[in-house]
């Protein structure tokens, strides 16, 4: 947690507010346990591996803290359900991407516009099979392409009330080889290659306890 706060420090007050809002969302979605903070740190590592310039890296890292803010608009009985979701509930939960965009989009504010873009695109897939808009390839902005793989890894690892999380090696195998639900075609090739290079750092972030 302290490492993430230090990374955000040069970028002003808005990232600090983003950090606080991400914690508020996490308290409501109690099954995710610091998901946003971990994912943001993973995003920073991948940005470095991809040679993203320092300013862009800092803003993407900070803005990614708000990628799930749209879950604040999802009913608590869905967010906190301890059994597998119904098809209708899954469809409702998927609206959090668009809701996040609605919440964050702000005129004349580059940081919030980026956060809105990340919220809107972090479930898009490089092969066009994602949601909510079915964007494909470079139609997905850089931040969204980076955030997606970090979000998937963290979700695979994490225990949920209705299923156990999986070990690091299996999560990496699913991302890189596929398992019927996730496949490598879902991710931008350069991002997937960078992820494979930094998997040890990604594992350390997940297992750091915050």
Average pLDDT over the chain reads 88
pLDDT tens string 158-173: 987 777 899 999 999 9
The CA distance from 24 to 36, in Å, is: 11
On whether the CB atoms of residues 196 and 137 are closer than 8 A, the answer is: no
Please give the structure tokens belonging to residue 137: 């390839």
**In terms of pLDDT, which residue wins out, 43 or 161?**
43
Closest to 100 (Cα-Cα) out of 75, 131, 80, 72 = 72
Q: Give the CATH architecture of domain 2-206.
A: Orthogonal Bundle (1.10)
Can you count the helices (H) and strands (E) in the chain? 12, 0
Percent pLDDT > 70 in the chain is 83
**pLDDT classification of 86: cutoffs 50, 70, 90:** very high
Q: For residue 163, what pLDDT is reported?
A: 79
Residue ranges per domain, the chain? Answer: 2-206
pTM over 0.85: yes
């Amino acid at each position: 947690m302290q490492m993430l706060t230090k990374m955000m420090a040069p970028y002003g007050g808005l990232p600090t507010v983003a950090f606080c809002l991400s914690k508020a969302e996490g308290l409501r979605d109690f099954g995710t346990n610091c998901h946003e903070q971990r994912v943001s740190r993973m995003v920073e590592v991948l940005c470095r591996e991809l040679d993203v310039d320092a300013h862009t890296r800092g803003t993407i890292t900070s803005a990614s803290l708000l990628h799930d803010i749209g879950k604040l608009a999802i009913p608590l009985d869905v967010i906190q359900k301890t059994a597998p979701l119904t098809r209708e509930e899954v469809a409702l939960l998927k609206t959090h991407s668009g809701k996040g965009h609605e919440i964050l989009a702000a005129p004349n504010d580059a940081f919030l516009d980026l956060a809105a873009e990340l919220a809107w695109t972090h479930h898009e897939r490089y092969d066009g099979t994602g949601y909510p808009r079915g964007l494909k390839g470079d139609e997905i902005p850089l931040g969204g392409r980076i955030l997606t793989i970090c979000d998937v890894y963290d979700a695979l690892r994490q225990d949920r009330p209705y299923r156990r999380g999986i070990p690091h090696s299996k999560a990496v195998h699913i991302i890189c080889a596929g398992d019927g639900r996730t496949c490598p075609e879902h991710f931008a090739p350069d991002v997937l290659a960078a992820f494979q290079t930094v998997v040890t750092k990604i594992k350390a972030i997940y297992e750091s306890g915050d």
